[in-house]
Amino acid sequence: MAELSYRDAVAHGIAQEMRRDPQLVMLGEDIAGAGGVFKTTVGLLDQFGPDRVRDTPISEQAILGAAMGAAMTGVPVIAEIMFSDFLAVCFDIVANEMAKSRYMTGGQMSVPVVVRTANGGGSRFGAQHSQSVENWCMMIPGLKVVAPSTPSDVVGLLAASIRDPDPVVFFEHKSLMASKGEVPDGEVIDELGKAKIVREGSDATIVALAYMVPRALEAADRLAEDGIDAEVIDLRTLVPLDTNAILTSVTKTSRAFTVEENPRLCGWGAEIASIVAHEAFWDLDGPVVRITTPHIPLPAAEALEDMAIPSVDRIVTTVKENLD
Amino acid sequence: MFDPELMDYANRDPRLPEPVDQGNADLGIDLEQRLDLYERQQVLRQFEKRAYDMFLQNLVKGTSHLSLGMEAVSAGFGAAMRQDDYTFATYRGHAHTLSRGVPLGPVMAELLGRENGLLKGKGGSMHLTSVEHGMMGSYAIIGAHLTMANGAAWSSQIRGTDQVTVCFFGDGTTNIGAFHEALNFAVIWDLPVVFVCENNLYMEYTPIDLITAVPNPAADRASAYGLPRIIVDGNDADAVYMTALDVIAKARSGRGPSLVEAVTYREQGHSRADPGKYRPKDEVAAWKARDPIPMYHQRLLKLGASEGDLASIQQDVARRVDEATEFAKAGRHPGEEHLMSDVWADGGSAWRN
């Protein structure tokens, strides 16, 4: 076991896979010489050389197109899009090309690409560098969507994403970069589509993702002081979605809450609320409640951004109000 | 400023083909190679005509974008490419698919939406792909596939093969951002890729010269990326073939990418929904007089081929197109088992447990 930061875990996970597969390459803006603007790729250029770790111009379409073209001809690729907001610049390739190519070619084409991107708020960067856009990708048939919350999940889920023959969008959270955690020694490989119960409880199920996981855990500790025993589920991947874990938990607790950083309309929790309402309706003691960022562009000012993104206080208050 | 006369496309000055030397006897292409180029053009012409007939019979649904009049470009490049090279094309991709040796029957069946189609009926006319033939796809939102072509070329570099990637697109594509991103990227990474602009003078319905800052939409942009300006007569299969040999050899030997503009003409409208009435009549007539296939036919006769040789090629192709038509018509409509298959590598479409 070694303690790693979330940002170091990214480079650690990539290195593990680049050692395993000598053909695996990566490309992106400022990832080689500079080690990434979030320092998530530090040391990879020295370890694997300029042919495998390549800097690109500011050309997001060229980056993802090159990744896709290489992948479909037998070379697996990790592509970095610096901020997840920039996915909109190259969304044609994400949503129309890599997601659809296997289906529309009758199963002929395989596109083993991992698109890594820094997601989410908390950095006071304003509306174009802070959004939580995992729901953009969740709604596209043909994309897998991953968003880890801990360093060991970063390593294990990166390995699973890289080894997956389908395109994966891998969201790294900006506000988790400095957080630390234990990562097992040796090769770490996890599984896509498996949620984790990160706190067991019997009174309410709180489903969270990425940066909202530590907040949900802190909220659960505070709720416990008031005698409410909350179970917290870290979804980890949105596609495939581990509905069994959610339904099993809700059957036990009879109440379901989602904590989502994405703006409210069509956020990932809406699908979960729909599934729970449909498939666990008779186990519920009350409505499914979504705790989300409001349906607004994210503001820059510290005071406003903190009001927008679900806080520990808001989670505690909302759960308490609804259980009363 | 808005000029209504400029918008009256059918009455604007026609853009006529440049006069060209009809001889071309001394290009060093032997008669056997020329007969192959003739056969390739016959296949593309007769296939596209049959596809159009099947559309009129309501057998081809949806849309289709034909290459009638533009056959010399894909024939010339197809003949110059190696079997393991890669092709990327747009929605106007029937010809580029057939040029890679993909059998006619499955392509025709795909247009008819049948289970025996190239893509099991799931892609249709605009997405023809045959990975085993190096035909890496037809892409219906222009631009992106130029960036993918870079990726295939990069992959050849990584794997240490000397495969070349050839990427076809229309004049309209030169005004989308991905074109410019892709060219810059190909040059800085020194990629073995050839970009071929089929300039048929119209971006869908709009004359390309009215909406482009330079007269030659691809060639006049080449210098911005440090590439030579290459324009070829896209109605002359010999000229295309010689240019293709040259730029493909350059890419294969590690001397980097090329951008070729092949000037040609779409003999029909943009898609099956478009009668093409916005084009001046004398322009259409002048280009029909420069139809690549009768022109090539005459050249072959001058070079010693007999009418009998050429007739037998035509008849053989006609038979193949008939067989492909029968194969396609005999295919069943895809069943429900295909609806939910092949979203993921495991063959299924499950997004939850």
Q: Please report whether residue B23 resides in a domain.
A: no
For residue A240, whether the previous peptide bond is cis, meaning omega lies within 30 degrees of 0, is: yes
Read off the pLDDT of residues B299-328 as tens digits, 9 standing for 90 and up: 999 999 999 999 999 999 999 999 999 999
Read off the pLDDT of residues A57-99 as tens digits, 9 standing for 90 and up: 999 999 999 999 999 999 999 999 999 999 999 999 999 999 9
Contacts of A110 in chain B (CB under 8 A): 345
**Is the pLDDT assigned to residue B1 strictly greater than 60?**
no
- A104 vs B123, B150, B152: nearest CB: B123
Q: State the complex-level ipTM.
A: 0.96
Residue whose entry in the numeric block shows the structure tokens 């895809």: B334
Lowest mean pLDDT among B21-30, B106-115, B221-230, B237-246: B21-30
- A166 vs B153, B159, B344: nearest CB: B344
Q: Please report whether residue B84 resides in a domain.
A: yes
Strands (E), chain B: 86-90, 135-139, 165-170, 193-199, 202-203, 206-207, 230-233, 258-263
**pLDDT of the residue at B203:** 92
**pLDDT of the residue at B5:** 63
- B120 vs A72, A106, A141: nearest CB: A106
Please, which residues bridge with residue B199 across strands?
B263
Whether A73 sits inside 8 A of B151 (CB atoms) is: yes
**pLDDT of the residue at B269:** 83
**pLDDT of the residue at B274:** 83
- A12/A158 Cα distance (integer angstroms): 10
Tell me what the mean pLDDT of segment B136-144 comes to: 97
Q: Which comes out higher in pLDDT, residue B11 or A243?
A: A243
Q: Which residues of A are catalytic?
A: 129
**Is the pLDDT assigned to residue B24 strictly greater than 60?**
no
- B174/A16 Cα distance (integer angstroms): 41
**Terminal CA-CA length for chain B:** 59
Whether B146 sits inside 8 A of A70 (CB atoms) is: no
**pLDDT of the residue at B86:** 98
Please, which residues bridge with residue A12 across strands?
none
Read off the pLDDT of residues A271-321 as tens digits, 9 standing for 90 and up: 999 999 999 999 999 999 999 999 999 999 999 999 999 999 999 999 999
- B199/B179 Cα distance (integer angstroms): 14
Q: Alpha helix (H) ranges present in chain A? A: 6-20, 44-48, 60-72, 91, 101-104, 134-138, 151-163, 212-225, 243-253, 268-279, 302-308, 312-323
Domain range list for chain A: 2-183, 196-323
- B151 vs A51, A67, A241: nearest CB: A67
Read off the pLDDT of residues A212-245 as tens digits, 9 standing for 90 and up: 999 999 999 999 999 999 999 999 999 999 999 9
Indicate the pLDDT class of residue A144, thresholds 50, 70 and 90: very high
Residue whose entry in the numeric block shows the structure tokens 């680049």: A18
The nearest CA of chain A is from the CA of B112 a distance in Å of 15
* Short-list B178, B150, B136, B139, CA closest to B257: B150
**Terminal CA-CA length for chain A:** 43
**pLDDT of the residue at B275:** 82
Q: Alpha helix (H) ranges present in B225-270? A: 237-252
Whether A107 sits inside 8 A of B347 (CB atoms) is: yes
Indicate the pLDDT class of residue B132, thresholds 50, 70 and 90: very high
Same fold? A2-183, A196-323: yes
* Short-list B117, B120, B147, CA closest to A102: B120
Counting the structural domains of chain B, the total is 1
Percent of chain B with pLDDT over 70: 96
**pLDDT of the residue at B26:** 64
Residue whose entry in the numeric block shows the structure tokens 């997956």: A164
Tell me what the mean pLDDT of segment B176-201 comes to: 98
Residues 6+ away with beta carbon under 8 Å from B295: B22, B235, B236
Whether A69 sits inside 8 A of B139 (CB atoms) is: no
Contacts of B132 in chain A (CB under 8 A): 108
CB-hemisphere CA count at 13 Å for B336? Answer: 0
**Is the pLDDT assigned to residue B63 strictly greater than 90?**
no
Class of residue A9 by CB neighbours under 10 A (exposed 0-12, middle 13-18, buried 19+) = buried
* Short-list A96, A90, A117, CA closest to B178: A90
- A296/A132 Cα distance (integer angstroms): 12
> Using N-to-C axis directions, what is the helix angle for B307-330 and B292-302, rounded to 10°?
140
**Under 8 Å between Cβ of B135 and B129:** yes
Read off the pLDDT of residues A10-61 as tens digits, 9 standing for 90 and up: 999 999 999 999 999 999 999 999 999 999 999 999 999 999 999 999 999 9
Q: Please spell the DSSP secondary structure of A269-302, one letter per residue.
A: HHHHHHHHHHHSGGG-SS--EEEEE-SSPPP-SH
Residues 6+ away with beta carbon under 8 Å from A260: A132, A209, A212, A267, A268, A269, A290, A291, A292, A293, A310
Contacts of B353 in chain A (CB under 8 A): 193, 240-244
**pLDDT of the residue at A204:** 98
DSSP tag of A174? G
- B340/B350 Cα distance (integer angstroms): 9
* Short-list A109, A319, A120, CA closest to A232: A319
**Under 8 Å between Cβ of A222 and A43:** no
Q: Please report whether residue B344 resides in a domain.
A: no
The nearest CA of chain B is from the CA of A49 a distance in Å of 13
Q: Please report whether residue B197 resides in a domain.
A: yes
Fold that domain A196-323 belongs to in CATH? Rossmann fold (3.40.50)
Contact status of A23 with chain B (Cβ, < 8 Å): yes
- A110/B343 Cα distance (integer angstroms): 10
What is the CATH number for B149?
3.40.50.970
Residue in chain B closest to A63 (alpha carbons) equals B147
Indicate the pLDDT class of residue B28, thresholds 50, 70 and 90: confident
CATH superfamily of A2-183: Thiamin diphosphate (ThDP)-binding fold, Pyr/PP domains (3.40.50.970)
Read off the pLDDT of residues A193-211 as tens digits, 9 standing for 90 and up: 999 999 999 999 999 999 9
Structural element, H or E, at residue A230 = strand A230-234
**pLDDT of the residue at A252:** 98
Q: Please spell the DSSP secondary structure of B163-195, one letter per residue.
A: --EEEEEEGGGGGSHHHHHHHHHHHHTT--EEE
Neighbours of A94 (CB within 10 A): 25
**Is the pLDDT assigned to residue B16 strictly greater than 90?**
no
Contact status of B178 with chain A (Cβ, < 8 Å): yes
For B85, phi then psi, to 5°, come to -75, 165
Read off the pLDDT of residues A89-134 as tens digits, 9 standing for 90 and up: 999 999 999 999 999 999 999 999 999 999 999 999 999 999 999 9
Read off the pLDDT of residues B198-228 as tens digits, 9 standing for 90 and up: 999 999 999 999 999 999 999 999 999 999 9
Most confident of A20-34, B257-271, B275-289: A20-34
**pLDDT of the residue at B18:** 76
A216-253 b/e with 16+ CB inside 10 Å = b?
bbbbbebbeeeebebbbbbbbbbbbbbbebbbbbbeeb
**Secondary structure (3-state) at B87:** strand
Residues 6+ away with beta carbon under 8 Å from B266: B66, B67, B68, B69, B70, B200, B201, B202, B276
Lowest mean pLDDT among A279-293, B24-38, B172-186, B234-248: B24-38
Contact status of B133 with chain A (Cβ, < 8 Å): no
Q: Please report whether residue B269 resides in a domain.
A: yes
User: How far does CA B269 lie from the centroid of its chain?
Assistant: 15
Indicate the pLDDT class of residue A324, thresholds 50, 70 and 90: confident
- B286/A176 Cα distance (integer angstroms): 66
Whether A75 sits inside 8 A of B120 (CB atoms) is: no
Which residues constitute the domain of residue B257? Answer: 31-338
- B177/B182 Cα distance (integer angstroms): 9
